[in-house]
């Protein structure tokens, strides 16, 4: 058990070290906390904070706070959710070292359904966003396919080391419909059935370019 924990910590340290050494390249890092608290057999509260950087930490790209109230249409599955997100962005002005600052408010609706095939847990997430930007309004559809595969256990339980894979496509409702595609792969460790930590690499494919991000995430599903 101790060897498995050491292995996971080593992999996280490897991600951090590689990112720190690559700060002069186009690599960035996202820290994320994702909470999903069960209120009762039907209702749940989603809460999330993401701190995104152009480097490992300190050069802010985006700060996102997202929350929502969800309802299970069937037992522990088929969840519909109504949510809100606040997004503060600090992108660089092209060709300069100066930044602009923008704030965005989002209302979103989503549906998540889960499947289990042997050891593989599959999640489908469909999300529709209404985005209120400064002097602009946009709408966007998102579809995410995510897989969790335990490595040293048969199920996602305490002390399980697991692989995580996902792909999310973003589609705008107006012209230039393709917005972006995020392809992710990582490794995680379950401290319990409710709490896990994960580190990985995400490639964000934009219409004219691409960008690689390291990600370090904490998942908290402790019920009320």
Range of the domain at 200: 2-220
Q: What's the predicted TM-score (pTM) here? A: 0.86
Question: What is the 3-class SS of the chain, one letter each residue?
Answer: CHHHHHHHHHHHHHHHHHHHHCCCCCEEEEEEEEEEEECCCCEEEEEEEEEEECCCCCCEEEEEEEEEEEEEEECCEEEEEEEEEEEEECCECCCCCCECCEEEEEEEEEEEEEEEECCEEEEEEEEEEEEEECCEEEEEEEEEEEEEEECCCCCCCCCCEEEEEEEEEEEECCCCCEEEEEEEEEEEEECCCCEEEEEEEEEEECCCCEEEEEEEEEEECCCC
Q: What is the pLDDT of residue 27?
A: 81
Counting the structural domains of the chain, the total is: 1
Query: CA nearest 50: which of 37, 61, 36, 41?
Result: 61
Query: CA nearest 106: which of 126, 79, 136?
Result: 136
Give pLDDT tens digits for 156-208.
Answer: 999 999 999 999 999 999 988 999 999 999 999 999 999 999 999 999 999 98
- The CATH number of residue 214's host domain is 2.40.128
Give pLDDT tens digits for 106-133.
Answer: 999 999 999 999 999 999 999 999 999 9
**Is residue 25 very low, low, confident or very high in pLDDT (cuts 50, 70, 90)?**
very low
Residue 106 CA: distances (Å) to CA of 63, 131, 176, 208? 13, 5, 20, 25
């Amino acid at each position: 058990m101790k060897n498995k924990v050491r292995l996971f910590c080593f992999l996280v340290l490897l991600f951090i070290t590689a990112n720190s050494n690559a700060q002069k390249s186009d690599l960035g890092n996202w820290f994320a906390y994702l909470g999903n608290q069960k209120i009762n057999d039907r209702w749940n509260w989603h809460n999330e904070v993401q701190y995104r950087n152009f480097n490992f930490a300190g050069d802010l790209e985006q700060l996102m706070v997202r929350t929502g109230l969800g309802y299970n249409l069937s037992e522990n599955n088929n969840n519909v959710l109504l949510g809100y997100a606040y997004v503060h962005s600090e992108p660089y002005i092209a060709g300069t070292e100066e930044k602009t600052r923008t704030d965005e408010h989002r209302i979103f609706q989503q549906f998540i359904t889960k499947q289990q095939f042997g050891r593989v847990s599959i999640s489908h997430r469909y999300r529709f966003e209404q985005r209120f930007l400064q002097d602009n309004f946009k709408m966007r559809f998102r579809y995410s396919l995510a897989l969790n595969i335990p490595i040293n256990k048969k199920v996602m339980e305490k002390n399980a080391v697991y692989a995580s894979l996902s792909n999310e496509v973003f589609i705008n409702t107006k012209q230039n419909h393709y917005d972006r595609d995020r392809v992710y792969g990582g490794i995680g460790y379950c401290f319990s059935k409710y709490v896990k930590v994960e580190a990985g690499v995400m490639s964000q494919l934009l219409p004219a370019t691409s960008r690689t991000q390291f990600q370090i995430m904490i998942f908290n599903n402790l019920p009320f």
